[in-house]
Structures are given as structure tokens and as C-alpha cells.
Amino acid sequence: MYYIVDTEKSFEQAAADLEEAVALHKFGVLHIHDLGATLRSKGVEFDEQCRIFEVCNPVMAARVMSADMRLNMALPCRISVYTDKSQTRIGLIKPEQMLAMLSQDPELVKTAGEVEAETIKIIDDAR
């Protein structure tokens, strides 16, 4: 259900490299949530780093929503760069498995598989 890789890069370098890889694969970054910083700004003790990148390929997103508008709630894809006990990791919840739980439409599952293949390449390139 997850695709997670470890990297020897620093958290900041992995985050920068992820942004570059997203663009190279014709996806866009819609927003970056700095969850670690947000928690700390609310007075919560949180030692780890965590940035969640909302990424989207507009053609694929339109294809999914044209088939079933309810699936907008599963968009955009989210790729996280985070630390876990000083280890930098990059990961996502696999789109194909997630969408298969939400729709039985074989074309949508196929589209999710294409998105999954590309987002895994994005992560591997940022690694």
C-alpha cells in the first residue's frame, strides 16, 4: 500500500530534489504542507521533519474526475519527505491500490496505475 525509500540526502536536499523530479515528470506541485513546522508553531513538541507535497498531472486528474467526480476527494497525489529517527525518507500511498478501493472502473484503475508508475519514478529520481 506504501512506497517508501530511504535516502542518504539531508531532509532539505531530498525536498528540493523532489520538487525538481516532479517537474521533470510533467507533474506540478500544487502545495507543500510543512507539517513539522506547523506542529511546532502550535506549541507541539515534534522533533521530526515532514513536508507533504501535493502533486498533480492535470491530464490524469481530469480523466479521473471526468469518469467519477467523487474521486476528487482522492486527489491530488501526496508525496512526503520526512525524517524518522534521523533517517530521511520519501514516500507515498500507492494510487492504484487506493483508487481500486474507491472504484471498480477498470479504466480508472488503469489510469491510477499510470500515475503510480510515474510517481514512483519521481520518488526514485529524488532519492
The span from the CA of 90 to the CA of 80, in Å, is 6
Range of the domain at 74: 2-126
Q: pLDDT-based confidence at 100, cuts 50/70/90?
A: confident
CATH value at residue 110: 3.30.310.70
- Residue pair 71/103 in contact (Cβ under 8 Å)? The answer is yes
Q: pLDDT-based confidence at 126, cuts 50/70/90?
A: very high
The span from the CA of 107 to the CA of 94, in Å, is 17
The span from the CA of 9 to the CA of 3, in Å, is 18
How confident is the model over 37-65, as pLDDT tens digits? 999 999 999 999 999 999 999 999 999 99
Number of compact structural domains in the chain: 1
What share of the chain has pLDDT > 90, as a percent? Answer: 95
Beta pairing partners, 31:
54
Average pLDDT over residues 99-110: 90
